[in-house]
Chain A
Amino acid sequence: MHKGLFVNLRRADTSDFNKIMEWMSSPDYSNNILDYSNVPPDDLRIFMLNRLNNVDKYPSYLYFIVETKKGAPIGIATLNNINWKDRNLSLELIIGDDKFRGKMYGIDICITASDVAFSVLNMYKLWSYIYSFNEQSIKMCKWLGVPQEAILKDQKLSDGKLFDTYVFGMLKPDFYKLKTAKQKQLLEASKKKSQQ
């Protein structure tokens, strides 16, 4: 169990399969992360069960269930594309429960998952591809001080239109310079919001 300010992350297992499939088939997941709608359901089931059973010795992905402090599951954080040689990986997260969106949970998940990547997996870099229409995630990266490294032109086709993809990347030393200050800011912002 990895503890954040408002959420905890725990490794997902096969008992989380149904919940994960429900969140992964949501329009939010398929629009902003990956669209599995073209994959035959049986193939997707086997693919996901294999991943949750941890069949690989050096997996290129790790799924975490995001839980509130009361233990209610609200989403998934995935450490994906784990590159053990270059020590980098990408982070994907989805808050499946609408009630918890726009309430700073996303930022806390991001900080907690980054901490797992850097201090537990000993990664050196964390990166993320974010489509230009995903304004909320771009805003979150900017708030966290994650540098934008590149803009990949016309990388994503959505509703017949091509969109750019932003590449954000954070190195381990830079993350630990920012972590405490950002958590403090997050707590203060959360207190202000609850007083309103």
Chain B
Amino acid sequence: MSVSIRDINEADIKQIGFWYKTVSNRFFTIDNLAILSNTEIIQKINNPYSGIKAIDLDDKIVGLLKIFLVNLEAKFLEFYISIDEASLKSEILNEIIVSAISDLFAKNEIDRIRTTLLDTEIQLKDSIEKMGFKHEGVLKSHVFLKSRYHDLHSLSCLRTEFNA
């Protein structure tokens, strides 16, 4: 099985539209994606400024990666990652995460990488911590999703501590 990271294209939209709307609406902070049509979501995702990439496992999209902020002065990058339910429970999860993070370190001149995860994303958090990410704190009640507030865990990792 091979994992690859690539740009989103038109052909992907049918695969990710509904999943993106229901699972990953924290990728955009201002718009509530639940009230947008699939066509509007496509316009948001499929443009060069969205910063969103597809994570492929044997040509099937299993996740999305969004580069949220790149600070070339302080040499750090912030990203969000979302993986589909089936892959979260599979043994391949670690491999998917390693590929995604290795790609970010390889393509950006940064020393540190940071992400935030919802309190419900337990498998992702466990997997990311295994790669050498350190817990930096909990942002209380920071995201409103599925009718309730969620805490956000902030995690970061130095290039030298990344345990691929």
Contacts and interface: CB of A to CB of B under 8 A. Distances in A.
A85 B76 contact: no
Given A156-B74, A157-B74, A162-B74, A147 B136 contact: no
A150 interface: yes
Contact of B137 (A58, A155, A156, A167): A167
B30 A152 contact: no
Q: Is the interface of A mostly helix, strand, loop or mixed?
A: strand
Contacts of B140: 125, 147, 149, 169, 171
Contacts of B144: 85-87, 124
B42 to A, nearest CB: 20
Interface string B31-59: 11000000000000000000000000000
Nearest to B139: A149
B113 to A, nearest CB: 11
Contacts of A162: 74
A169 B142 contact: yes
Contact of B142 (A58, A86, A153): A86
A83 B137 contact: no
Contacts of B112: 153-154
Contact of A127 (B29, B75, B139): B139
Contact of B143 (A86, A167, A169): A86
Instruction: Place the interface of chain A in its size category.
Output: 20 to 34
Nearest to A85: B32
Contacts of B138: 149-150
Interface string A13-54: 000000000000000000000000000000000000000000
Contacts of A155: 71, 74, 76
Interface in A142-168: 147-157, 162, 167
B153 to A, nearest CB: 9
A132 interface: no
A171 B144 CA distance: 13
B24 to A, nearest CB: 13
Interface of A: 58, 60, 81, 83-88, 124-125, 127, 147-157, 162, 167, 169, 171
Q: Which 3 A-B pairs have the closest CB atoms?
A: A150-B137, A157-B74, A86-B144
13 contacts: A81-B29, A85-B144, A86-B143, A125-B142, A149-B139, A150-B138, A150-B139, A150-B154, A152-B114, A162-B74, A167-B139, A169-B139, A171-B141
